[in-house]
Amino acid sequence: MLVSVVVDYVVALRMPNSSENRKKKLLLISLFVNLGLLFYFKYLIFFAENTIALSNILGADIDPLFLKIILPLGISFYTFQTISYTVDVYRGLIKPERDFMLYACYVTFFPQLVAGPVLRAVEVIHQFAKRPPFMWSDIALGLRRIIYGLFLKVVLADNIAPLVDIGFAIPIESMSALDVWTLAFLFGFQIYFDFSAYSHIALGSARLMGICFPENFNFPYLATSAKDFWRRWHISLSSWIRDYLYLPLAGIKVHDRSVGGLANATLNTSKNKALFATWAIMGLWHGANWTFVLWGIYHAVVILLYRLLAPLVRSLNRNIKVICGITLTLPIMMMSWIPFRAESLDLTFAMWGKVIDPFSYTHLGMRENVYLITAIILIAIGATYYIKNKLAPIFYRGGLIVFFESIVFSVMFSMVIVFLRPINQFIYFQF
């Protein structure tokens, strides 16, 4: 990290007074250092193993490569932050930060360092420049976010995890199509609760210090389309991919904020190559495995299909559009989690094969309570959205919000104490 921080700091300082040609060279230096370090630590073994395997298939006898590389914690996240900084300076969106300690604080600020959200300099550096005044509202809001995040993690995600592990351990021959659907939904819930929990804790921890981060999740499983899903899921990453990868490849004007996600990327038939390349890289960013690449390609195909159907969707009544959109989008997005969780491409295609086989819907391979738990969680997500957006405003108007939140967060905190077990790390720590 120290190498990339120093290089990007120096590169950014030299850019403003440089010619356009020199600016490009400086930017290339920054990208080479950052992506080079990321490639070495995260992808060298993956590409080496695949190269050796391909060479052996072609007739070359190459011995397996034995490398032991320890992946630095959070390297994917702070690499993206340093890249966005130098690119934004190159684009003229921000001025280079001359105070090295201030810039280093932006890159290494601990709450979100290991699992996001991916911060942009324009969003946070100015907050570090001046010590924020102490405000009790920041303390209260920060603690609420932390308690909510802990509840999502230790009460929900960590208790769903064993069900997912047991389900994916079942031999594929014994699985039914209903089992595959249930496991897709369960893991979708697990990773959502787990990752959004970390985001809430990160936002809450920063808020305790008077620092505001952009939101990273907004009820993604209530999305009405694939685009809408990525407007709501891991917003900081999807908007980063939009502005620093997809839009430059597609030749479209970029944005300067972590909002909108990939949904703000205008698509047309001439941009399909950029779409698929972006999503393949998006998948590979999540892990050095072909299953993650497949996950990315899956989303590219889904987004392309939604784009083709856009004229038909726009002609529908608004209520019908919302109901049909959620009904179709939810299972499609959930099914994308199969390659994200499966250990191999073979298992992924085998599980997808079960789903499209009508004769695989005739039996159940897991305990009955697993299906019931899945249904309850799905209903609870919808109920939570209704309470937050419909009932909470009523409590605000009636002056009962303090009483209502006191009960809710007291129950959450009590359940966190009961279920707290220091055994399960956050899923996104591996990325």
Tokens 């698929």: give the residue. 276
* Packing angle of the helix pair 100-108, 2-14 (nearest 10 deg): 130
Tokens matching residue 368: 């009955």
Q: 268 exposed, middle or buried (CB, 10 Å; 0-12, 13-18, 19+)?
A: exposed
SS3 assignment for 148-204: HHHHHHHHHHHHHHHHHHHHHHCCHHHCCHHHHHHHHHHHHHHHHHHHHHHHHHHHH
Cβ(274)–Cβ(250) under 8 Å? yes
Concerning whether 286 is annotated as a catalytic residue, the answer is yes
At residue 397, what is the residue type?
Answer: R
Using DSSP, state whether 118 is helix, strand or coil: coil
Residue 120 phi/psi, 5° resolution?
Answer: -110, 145
Give the integer Cα–Cα distance in Å for 203 and 126: 17
Give the integer Cα–Cα distance in Å for 226 and 247: 18
Other beta carbons within 10 Å of 3: 11
Using DSSP, state whether 1 is helix, strand or coil: coil
DSSP state of 388: I
**For 315-359, where are the alpha helices, taking DSSP H only?**
318-335, 337-341, 345-356
Phi-psi region of 74 (alpha: psi -120 to 50; beta: other; left: phi over 0): left
Give the integer Cα–Cα distance in Å for 373 and 379: 10
CA distances from 46 to 34, 72, 213, 247, 294 (A): 18, 16, 33, 28, 15
Cβ(34)–Cβ(4) under 8 Å? yes
**How many helices (H) and strands (E) are present in the chain, helices listed first?**
20, 0
Q: Pick the catalytic residue: 200, 234, 286, 299? A: 286
Give the integer Cα–Cα distance in Å for 105 and 67: 33
- Active-site residues, by number, are 286
